[in-house]
Amino acid sequence: MNSTFDQSEFLQKLETQWLGHSIRYFEELASTNTYLKKLSSQDIQHGLFCLTDYQTRGRGQYERRWESEKGVNLTFSIVFTPVDTGRFHVLTLACALAIVEKLNDFLNASCAAIKWPNDIILNKKKTAGILTEAVFSGNTFDRLIIGIGLNINQQKFSYELKEVATSVSLEKGKEINREQFLADLLNRIEYKYTLWEQQQSSLIKTINQNIIGYGQWVGLKIDDEVQDELYKLLGINENGALLMLNRDGGIDSFSYEQIQLITN
């Protein structure tokens, strides 16, 4: 099952306009996000894509590590150089939505959803995570890097992860062609990017419909403190802030750094 990613098969299958045609592939790399962050401005362009079969220092959110078995999963990052230098959290969620839709299509079921802010859950277990980082040159925005770790063909997880993590192959019950899966996914990401760029309200609506707990009363941790009251999850607004209805009927808005949702 463990194999080297076949770049030419992938490029043959890719149907995007601008995303992923320029590809940097490495058998092994510290981290695809770190690699793209370190490139100079002259060496990057919109849609540049970096993929590796093994990360030695894969990074997750909140300074955590991202561990992924060699040659079986997808660990990649994309460079975006948008004109609009805000609403990045919406773009991250647009990528999350692309993953959710691809998984639901592929597995022929509504089994995938977004765990706000950046996780993809498949049949109640995590199958993908996203790490978004902005790069500045002085005070000027230079690029956005969206890194995605997606468990594709991994069959076994460590003792700590086995109850909470899964892979597409485990859920499908057969081995997955990584090249085809990735080509399809990039197609969807490119399309979602266009919706994001055009500020389409349908994008926000669909993201919200796919967030776990949407429209429900959920628990909340604000700045690491569990709140006594439940809040109703109203979804994100067009800037990516999370709107929560409190028990007094007021609407509170939170940035993703401030809170954690507690859903079942």
Ligand X SMILES: O=C(O)CCCC[C@@H]1SC[C@@H]2NC(=O)N[C@@H]21
DSSP string, 123-151: TTEEEEEEEEEEEEETTEEEEEEEEEEE-
Is residue 60 near ligand X by the rule CB under 6 A? yes
- How far apart are CB 15 and ligand X at their closest, in Å? 23
Is residue 97 near ligand X by the rule CB under 6 A? no
- How far apart are CB 152 and ligand X at their closest, in Å? 12
Q: Which is nearer to ligand X, 29 or 231 (CB)?
A: 29
Consecutive H or E run containing 76? strand 74-80
x/- mask, ligand X, residues 25-54, rule CB under 6 A, reads: ------xxx---------------------
Is residue 254 near ligand X by the rule CB under 6 A? no
Tell me the torsion sign for CA atoms 44, 47, 51, 57. positive
Whether the ω angle into residue 82 lies within 30 degrees of 0, i.e. cis, is no
- How far apart are CB 21 and ligand X at their closest, in Å? 19
Q: How far apart are CA 92 and CA 144, in angstroms?
A: 10
Given a contact cutoff of 8 angstroms between Cβ atoms, the answer to whether 243 and 236 are in contact is: yes
Tell me the torsion sign for CA atoms 152, 240, 116, 109. negative
- How far apart are CB 201 and ligand X at their closest, in Å? 27
Of 9-17, 123-131, 151-159, 223-231: span binding ligand X (CB under 6 A) = 123-131
Is residue 73 near ligand X by the rule CB under 6 A? no
Strand duo 242-245 + 225-226: pairing:
unpaired
**The only residue of 1, 15, 64, 253 in contact with ligand X, by rule CB under 6 A:** 64
Is residue 149 near ligand X by the rule CB under 6 A? yes
**The only residue of 5, 44, 69, 75 in contact with ligand X, by rule CB under 6 A:** 75
**Count of beta carbons in the 10 Å neighbourhood of residue 221:** 13
Q: How far apart are CA 219 and CA 264, in angstroms?
A: 9
Is residue 119 near ligand X by the rule CB under 6 A? yes
Of 8-16, 141-149, 179-187, 241-249: span binding ligand X (CB under 6 A) = 141-149
Q: Which is nearer to ligand X, 66 or 254 (CB)?
A: 66
- How far apart are CB 129 and ligand X at their closest, in Å? 2
- How far apart are CB 151 and ligand X at their closest, in Å? 10
**Count of beta carbons in the 10 Å neighbourhood of residue 105:** 12
Q: How far apart are CA 126 and CA 124, in angstroms?
A: 7
**The only residue of 20, 47, 117, 129 in contact with ligand X, by rule CB under 6 A:** 129
Q: How far apart are CA 84 and CA 139, in angstroms?
A: 15
Residues that bind ligand X (CB under 6 A): 31-33, 55, 58-61, 64, 66, 75-77, 119, 129-131, 147-149
